[in-house]
Amino acid sequence: MKIKLSFLLVLATSAIILACSSTGSKTTVSAETPKPIQLFNGNDINDWTPKIRLHEVGENYANTFRVEDGLLKVRYDGYDEFNQQYGHLAYNTPYSYYLLRVEYRFVDEQVKGGEGWAWRNSGAMLHGQDPNTMLKDQDFPISIEGQFLGGNGKDERTTSNLCTPGTNVVIDGTLFTPHCTSSTSKTYHGDEWVTADFLVLGDSLIQHILEGEVVLEYHKPQIGGGNVEPYDPAQKADGKLLKQGFIYLQSESHPIDFRKVELYDLSPYKDNKAKLDEIILSILPDSKFL
């Protein structure tokens, strides 16, 4: 069963009441939907910074991240072998309150030397550390990962999962310390495009949303735990809540395309609950909880 849209359901109640007319006409959401910020502009990655393990910040080793045919592509034709050269592409502006929308698809074959677990595996890193603070041989940024996984055509394999390199979260009121947990999503096989939404409200709530359904929800993202190495100790203050950070796209050895990476900045509304409610509902009009 899908996770209930607990937060958004509360928001919906007030927004629906506000939207109803006194004559009892059909309910609509009255808020004007804000214009999304196109983090990927379709032309280049000039607003992004690559950080690939074993390479300096800013070095796009072997043209791993590239733009072709209007798509942001992750490719490995310049690699002899993957050699655990995990890559991350950071958008240069940090955000705190937002809804992130990513459209992705897995393609082609995994590069030689990629681990078995990394087959059709990528992700969007949320509340990530500044790429300029990562060590040259650091494998992952300290961050919250919305993990993307593709199916093999027959077996179930959820996507929009959670992994926690150097972080922990709270689930159902309890500090969650395992590295990864699965969502309740269906499996997406083959090269089909998938749209993944992430509602991020500072250090209070993060929801992973697919096709209008919340498939994973957690609270109080914070620094802690392991599964990232090596790192600058100054960047890992365990227990510190993550209120904002950088957004990354991953390179983990399997080719992937991104055709949309856009963000709705919700920070102007964070102190106005009623307005925040309306704006979220205007962005997600087809959510099945309505």
- Residue 253 and residue 114 in contact, taking contact as beta carbons nearer than 8 Å: yes
Look up residue 219 and give its two tokens: 């609270």
How many angstroms separate the first and last alpha carbons of the chain? 17
Q: Give the residue-averaged pLDDT of 184-203.
A: 97
Report, as an integer, the average pLDDT of 27-46.
82
Q: Could you state, in order of their start, the residue ranges of all structural domains in the chain?
A: 38-270
Query: What CA–CA distance (Å, rounded) separates 139 from 50?
Result: 13
Tell me what pLDDT residue 3 has. Answer: 47
Segment 221-245, tens digit of pLDDT: 999 999 999 999 999 999 999 999 9
- Looking at residue 31, its pLDDT comes to 55
30: pLDDT strictly greater than 50:
no
pLDDT digits (tens, 9 = 90+) for 120-164: 999 999 999 999 999 999 999 999 999 999 999 999 999 999 999
* Residue 120 in tokens: 């059709």
Reduce the secondary structure of the chain to three states and give it as a string: CCCCCHHHHHHHHHHHHHHCCCCCCCCCCCCCCCCCEECCCCCCCCCEEEEECCCCCCCCHHHCEEEECCEEEECCCCCCCCCCCCEEEEECCCECEEEEEEEEEECCCCCCCCCHHHCCEEEEEEEECCHHHCCCCCCCCCCEEEEEECECCCCCCECCEEECCCEEEEECCEEECCCEECCCCCECECCCCEEEEEEEECCCEEEEEECCEEEEEEEEEEECCCCCCCCCHHHCCCCCECCCEEEEEEECCCCEEEEEEEEEECHHHCCCHHHHHHHHHHHCCCCCCC
Question: Does position 77 have pLDDT exceeding 50, yes or no?
Answer: yes
Superfamily of chain region 38-270: Exo-inulinase; domain 1 (2.60.120.560)
Q: CB of 163 within 8 A of CB of 145?
A: yes
Share of the chain above pLDDT 70, in %: 88
Confidence check: pLDDT of 215 > 90? yes
- Which pLDDT score, from 0 to 100, does residue 78 have? 98
- Above 50 in pLDDT, residue 24? no
At residue 29 the predicted structure's pLDDT band, cuts being 50, 70 and 90, is very low
Where do we find the tokens 């709705």? 264
pTM of the model: 0.89
Question: What number is the average pLDDT over the span 203-228?
Answer: 97
CA distance 97 to 136: 30
The band of 32, judged by pLDDT with boundaries at 50, 70 and 90, is: confident
